[in-house]
Amino acid sequence: MMPHQSFNNEAVSNRHKLLELLADGRFHSGQELGRTLSVSRAAIWKSLRSLAACGLSITSVKGRGYCLECPMEFLSRARLLETLDHRVVDGVSKLTVFTEVDSTNQFLLDRINQADFHGHVVLAEYQSAGRGRHGNLWLSPYGSGISLSLGWEFTTPPAAMGIISLALGVAVVETLCEFGINNVGLKWPNDILHNRDKLGGILVEMRGELAGPSRLVMGIGINYSLPRKQALVPGRKVTDIAAIADPLPSRNVFTARLVSRIMEMLMTFDNSRIPNLLERWRQHDCIKGETVTLETAGGPIMGEVAGIDESGSLLLRVNDQVKSYTSGEISLRLGR
């Protein structure tokens, strides 16, 4: 495995070093921070402002200094590697942990033709241009989420590419269960929800031919421990692992387990099938039986969710007829 890349430039490196000092969740004076990092207090102030712009909540108290809302556990390549399941280690061609990057998915898409693309795992503490589905932004404050992408080549691509994204949803939910977080569900195609609040999402992107080998970038974003000011905004409908887990799993251990599960699934991907995948997905379907609106390219369709079919498409009962849909965005009715 190749060494990881880390700091993209000096400003990013300074920002991260400052955060490393604040990661204990205690107060640190501007003077102490400046002295430790051998920079002026003005430079510390500038870095603190840029960390706040990355979504972090930093408290400043006169006479005491600055502190983070709660201690932060950084991703560590060494800890990730030692926690990865030994059966999948050989499948990881490269593990890159960024402090900051535009988008882990974009990083891999830019390297889609490289020899080590297959099995390359990319993680970031912060994405400045994280992407969500349907052209949305995926915003995750510095160090508060799990932003993960994996490059994979399928020599025999699955009959329906949507299956891959369902498989990733199953891997996330099964990893959560492993840590005792059982009440999380999947909303087709791949939102990860707790009650109705969004815990995470999946974005699979591909280049290449539909026939023959396909290279896919699989991106997963999970809210791990958001600044409380953001997580608790009424009506924002987001949640994080910190709010629903007891105890909170280590960020490194959780991430390594998730990568292990995904790799295990993909490495045993046999003849375009993942064992019992649809049954496993159905067990966690949290919107079956609900009346929803499906936003499609052809306009909104209202119906009752009847589950998923054998190709992973959504089944919707519309005027007593069950129809299947391969794409679209489901909106749930409010107030339930």
- Least distance to ligand BTN from the beta carbon of 320, Å? 32
Segment 88-117, which members bind ligand BTN (CB under 6 A)?
103-105
**CB 189, min distance to ligand BTN, A:** 10
How far apart, in whole angstroms, are the C-alpha atoms of residue 137 and residue 55?
Answer: 14
Q: In the window 130-159, what residues touch ligand BTN (CB under 6 A)?
A: 130-133, 136, 138, 147-149
303 binds ligand BTN (CB under 6 A): no
- Name the residues annotated as catalytic: 133, 198, 333
For residues 12 to 31, the per-residue mask of contacts with ligand BTN, x marking binding by CB under 6 A and - elsewhere, is --------------------
Q: Please, what sign has the CA dihedral across residues 108, 114, 118, 123? A: negative
What is the separation, in whole angstroms, between the first and last Cα of the chain? 49
CA–CA separation, 223 and 241 (whole Å) = 6
Min dist. Cβ of residue 126 to ligand BTN (A): 11
* Contact range with ligand BTN by CB under 6 A, out of 206-214, 215-223, 226-234, 301-309: 215-223
- Could you tell me if 174 and 275 are in contact, meaning their C-beta atoms sit under 8 angstroms apart? no
| Region 260-289 residues binding ligand BTN, contact defined as CB under 6 A | none
* Residue 130 C-beta: closest distance to ligand BTN, Å: 4
For residue 188, the minimal CB distance to ligand BTN (Å) is: 12
Site string for ligand BTN, 176-195 (x = CB under 6 A): ---------------x----
CA distances, 67 to each of 15, 29, 234 (Å): 14, 9, 25
Whose CA is closest to 336, among 214, 193, 225, 165? Answer: 193
244 three-class SS? helix
| Rounded Cα gap, residues 203 and 187, in angstroms | 14
Three-state SS for 126?
Answer: strand
Give me the least distance between CB of 286 and ligand BTN, in Å please.
15
Report the residue number, 66 or 125, with the smaller CB distance to ligand BTN.
Answer: 125
If the CB atoms of residues 135 and 299 are measured against ligand BTN, the closer one turns out to be: 135
Q: Of the two residues 156 and 296, which places its CB atom closer to ligand BTN in the complex?
A: 296
**Which CB, 24 or 110, lies closer to ligand BTN?**
110
Per-residue b/e over 40-52, b at no fewer than 16 CB within 10 Å? Answer: eeeebebbbebbe
Count other C-beta atoms under 10 Å from residue 24's C-beta. 12
What residues does 223 pair with on adjacent strands? 145
Q: By CB under 6 A, is residue 219 in contact with ligand BTN?
A: yes
- Verify binding: residue 47, ligand BTN, rule CB under 6 A: no
Q: Which residue is nearest to ligand BTN (CB)?
A: 201
As to burial, measured by CB atoms within 10 angstroms (0-12 exposed, 13-18 middle, 19+ buried), residue 3 is exposed
Query: Which residue lies nearer to ligand BTN by CB, 3 or 135?
Result: 135
DSSP 219-243: EEEEE-S--HHHHT-TT--B--HHH
Backbone angles phi, psi at 117, to 5 degrees: -60, -45
Nearer of residues 136 and 183 to ligand BTN, judged by Cβ: 136
Q: How many residues bind ligand BTN (CB under 6 A)?
A: 20
DSSP letter at 248 equals P
The residues binding ligand BTN (CB under 6 A) are 103-105, 127, 130-133, 136, 138, 147-149, 191, 201-203, 219-221
